[in-house]
Structure 1
Amino acid sequence: MRSTRIAVFASGQGSNFSALVAAQRQGQLGEGQIELLVSDRPEAPVAQRAEEAGIAAMLLRPKDFASREEYEAAIVAELQRREIGLIVLAGYMRLITPVLLTPYAGRIINVHPSLLPAFAGKDAIGQALDYGVKLTGVTVHFVDGGMDTGPVIAQRAITIEPGDTADTLAARIHRVEHELYPEVVRAFAEGRVELQGRQVRVRGAEK
């Protein structure tokens, strides 16, 4: 089976990027191979993490381009040159336009710190705490043109404990993200994720 070349998009600290790199080194991404980091913030810590991991980085400032579409067109050209088969968003803080969505439809995934469709958008952890729900969690989903509206691939629930703060809850959520996201990336790379409309089926790993 040919490996699936992966580009990780990130804008910040890069903890999920590092978790994916660690999973790859431990053989946990199966046929997945991280080839490229794409970041819209060249100064973000994730860029240093990529350098330390020996992974190529495409660091662009959107303001250097005439439009969002022109910015994404430059990215698409590099993705196609590298034969990228899967885009993994890991704290990438930009909505994606059809310039990127169209050629990579069904091949862009994201992780979100809530049980979607609850608490989409920014500060999902704060939203959950403010609302007073007893359960939140992590969702890995396909990306479409909306804000965290794509079909759900996998979810894992997390209990909100009495006295939880944004920091304590975030720490538990991040641990789950770092487990669940590599599992989904591996399933995708091995061709085990099937999308039909809004329904997603993940077949079990081969024995």
Structure 2
Amino acid sequence: MTHKMPAVVLASGNGSNLQTLIDLKSANKLDLDIKLVVSNNPEAFALERAKNAKITTWGKSHKSFESREAFDLNVIAEIEKAGILSNQKLIADGKDITKSSQVGCIILAGYMRLLSTAFIQAFSGRILNIHPALLPSFAGAKGGLDALNYGIKITGCTVHFVDEIMDHGPVIIQAAVPHKAGESLDELMQRIHKLEHRIYPQAVQWLAEDRLSLKDRVVYLKENSKSEKLASLGNQELSFLVSPPLEKF
């Protein structure tokens, strides 16, 4: 692997998906260069994970800013310092001084804040999120719990592009798991998280390879003759369905 897609990860809590990305990046299995980890929670363990991996961090409470947009504008400035420029045109003294941007991405990994319109427009088409349910069902902060309480038999996780509506953007990849009657939320989420840690890096890798395209809300994956599809995760106890099919890194 040669080209590494620059990325910024936004996280609010434990950062297990971040750790998966760090581990795969360190093993040279992912075409990713994490430039910065941002959190709206200065105590988030995700920041510790980043520091342990010698990744630059920025953590400030959103409560110390006067508005959602004010916080996000500060985050945008930090992201641009990290080398991932926004899509916004830069005008000074009446002249367009917009810089050529590196093709990077913003990865939301348990980021418990709605992004402002300003942020989404700044990085339009380059923001990824993962949600612990099969969208469009059970959107929102408690997707896993809402699905369980509803009595579903199948749930899972979804990686999608982010737009201005919560958990609404075009779907890149989904993975399904069964819910067993009487199973606790923790038991269910353990299996969902296992798949999150597989499909999120997969989506990131496809983006890094410039194989994703979008038309009328449908995300298309360009075939790659060098990619080897996987039949399973190698765990017979884990019943699942993943679409598009997983590939070997």
**What CA deviation, in whole Å up to 9, does each residue of 1:100-151 have, x standing for no partner?**
1111000001000111000000221111111111100110001111110111
1:194 Cα deviation from its structure 2 partner: 0.8
1:197 Cα deviation from its structure 2 partner: 2.9
- Preserved contact between residue 151 and residue 199 of structure 1 (Cα < 8 Å): yes
- C-alpha distance in structure 2 between counterparts of 1:66 and 1:205, whole Å: 47
Corresponding residue for 1:22? 23
For 2:190, what is the secondary structure of its paired residue? helix
1:26 Cα deviation from its structure 2 partner: 2.0
- C-alpha distance in structure 2 between counterparts of 1:123 and 1:21, whole Å: 26
Q: Which letter maps to 2:142?
A: D
1:33 Cα deviation from its structure 2 partner: 1.1
**What CA deviation, in whole Å up to 9, does each residue of 1:68-109 have, x standing for no partner?**
111111111121222221000000000001111111000001
**Any residues of structure 2 matched to 1:29-40 within 5 Å, and which?**
29-30=30-31, 32-40=32-40
**Any residues of structure 2 matched to 1:53-202 within 5 Å, and which?**
53-84=53-84, 85-202=104-221
How many residues align? The count is: 206
- Preserved contact between residue 112 and residue 141 of structure 2 (Cα < 8 Å): no
For 1:147, what is the secondary structure of its paired residue? coil
Q: Which letter maps to 2:38?
A: V
TM-score by length of 2: 0.79
- Preserved contact between residue 187 and residue 205 of structure 1 (Cα < 8 Å): no
- Indicate the structure with greater helix content: 1
Q: Which letter maps to 2:44?
A: A
- C-alpha distance in structure 1 between counterparts of 2:80 and 2:48, whole Å: 24
For 2:214, what is the secondary structure of its paired residue? strand
- Preserved contact between residue 38 and residue 59 of structure 1 (Cα < 8 Å): yes
- C-alpha distance in structure 2 between counterparts of 1:178 and 1:124, whole Å: 17
- C-alpha distance in structure 2 between counterparts of 1:14 and 1:128, whole Å: 23
1:180 Cα deviation from its structure 2 partner: 0.6
For 2:200, what is the secondary structure of its paired residue? helix
Identity over aligned residues, as a percent? Answer: 43
Q: Is 101-110 or 157-166 further displaced after alignment?
A: 157-166
- C-alpha distance in structure 2 between counterparts of 1:206 and 1:189, whole Å: 16
- C-alpha distance in structure 2 between counterparts of 1:186 and 1:90, whole Å: 15
RMSD: 1.3
1:2 Cα deviation from its structure 2 partner: 4.1
- Preserved contact between residue 28 and residue 182 of structure 1 (Cα < 8 Å): no
- Preserved contact between residue 28 and residue 183 of structure 1 (Cα < 8 Å): no
**Which structure has the larger Rg over C-alpha atoms?**
2
For 1:102, what is the secondary structure of its paired residue? helix
TM-score by length of 1: 0.95
Corresponding residue for 1:49? 49
Closer, same or farther: CA 25–71 of 1 in aligned 2, 3 Å: same
- C-alpha distance in structure 1 between counterparts of 2:223 and 2:82, whole Å: 29
